[in-house]
């Protein structure tokens, strides 16, 4: 999934906490969030306020939570595991490990694998190409 497709996908599912999100979708959105936050901080330092950062933070809060929950679903975990991030240091490390893990193959209780051809509009199935971008079958 490309950078632009990932951002489009996350914002089209702004507050959708059901379903699954691929690693690429999650990490591209994380990069987008960092870039937008840095730009907002630069603008705020030039203006001498923190209004832009606050607006950006509020605008990205719900989509960030939603894509994280969908990412946890993709690894076969409940979205409630996001709360482990509230535990200082250890919680953030455990959550990072969950976010880095590969998708649970096939369908799980949260829906079909987003790696299944045609399951994700940003990654349409094409004849002659493997369903899995890393080769082999899904």
**Whole-number pLDDT of residue 73:** 94
**Whole-number pLDDT of residue 34:** 97
Residue 9 CA to residue 1 CA, distance in Å, equals 10
**Whole-number pLDDT of residue 93:** 96
C-beta of residue 72 within 8 angstroms of C-beta of residue 43: no
Length of the chain: 138
Q: Which residues does 99 contact at the CB level (< 8 Å), separation at least 6?
A: 23, 26, 68, 71, 72
Number of structural domains found in the chain: 1
Whether residue 134 is contained in a domain is answered as no
Q: Using CA of residue 62, residue 63, residue 66, residue 69, what is the dihedral sign? A: negative
Whether residue 54 is contained in a domain is answered as yes
Domain that holds residue 85: 3-100
Number of helices and strands in the chain (H, E): 4, 0
Whether residue 45 is contained in a domain is answered as yes
Q: Tens-of-pLDDT digits for all 138 residues of the chain?
A: 889 999 999 999 989 899 999 999 999 999 999 999 999 999 999 999 889 999 999 999 999 999 999 999 999 999 999 999 999 999 999 999 999 998 888 888 888 888 776 655 555 555 555 555 544 444
């Amino acid at each position: 999934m490309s950078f632009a497709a990932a951002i489009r996908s996350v914002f089209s599912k702004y507050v959708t906490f059901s379903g699954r999100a691929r690693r690429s979708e999650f990490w591209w959105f994380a990069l987008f969030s960092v870039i937008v936050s840095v730009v907002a901080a630069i603008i705020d330092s030039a203006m001498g306020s923190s209004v832009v950062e606050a607006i950006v933070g509020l605008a990205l809060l719900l989509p960030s939570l939603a894509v994280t929950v969908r990412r946890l679903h993709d690894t076969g975990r409940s979205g409630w595991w996001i709360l482990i991030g509230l535990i200082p240091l250890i919680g953030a490390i455990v959550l990072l490990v969950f976010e880095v893990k590969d998708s649970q193959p096939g369908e799980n209780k949260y829906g079909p694998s987003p790696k299944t051809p045609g399951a994700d509009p940003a990654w349409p199935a094409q004849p002659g190409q493997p369903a899995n971008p890393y080769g082999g079958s899904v």
